[in-house]
Amino acid sequence: MTREVTDSEGIVWSCVEAYSGISDKPENREKAQVKGSDDAYWVVCTPAGGAKSVRLRLEGDWENSCSDEALLSSIETQQQEDG
């Protein structure tokens, strides 16, 4: 499932679990799972426009439980870390 959020600059970010675009097979969800964590997954957020994609570590039900503000905050934090 893809989730879209729009930041304060009007950039639309499309976020999806890593490997989910390959197929809906359960093993792809396992590949996206953060090693050593039972309920955390790697999520890739790609912007519409010139900004660089970011990879986030989010909790298992991030599609429903993570607010737009929290998701945008995670994107911003990761952008700053990536420098």
Q: What are phi and psi of 59, to 5 degrees?
A: -70, 155
Long-range contacts of 66-74 (CB under 8 A, 24+ apart): 68/5, 71/3, 71/5, 71/13, 71/15, 71/45, 72/5, 72/7, 72/8, 72/13
Output the pTM of the full model: 0.78
In 10 A of CB 52, how many CB atoms?
9
The pLDDT tens digits of the residues spanning 2-14 come to 899 999 999 999 9
The whole domain housing 59 covers 3-82
Mean pLDDT of 45-69: 90
Tell me what pLDDT residue 69 has. 97
Q: How many domains does the chain have?
A: 1
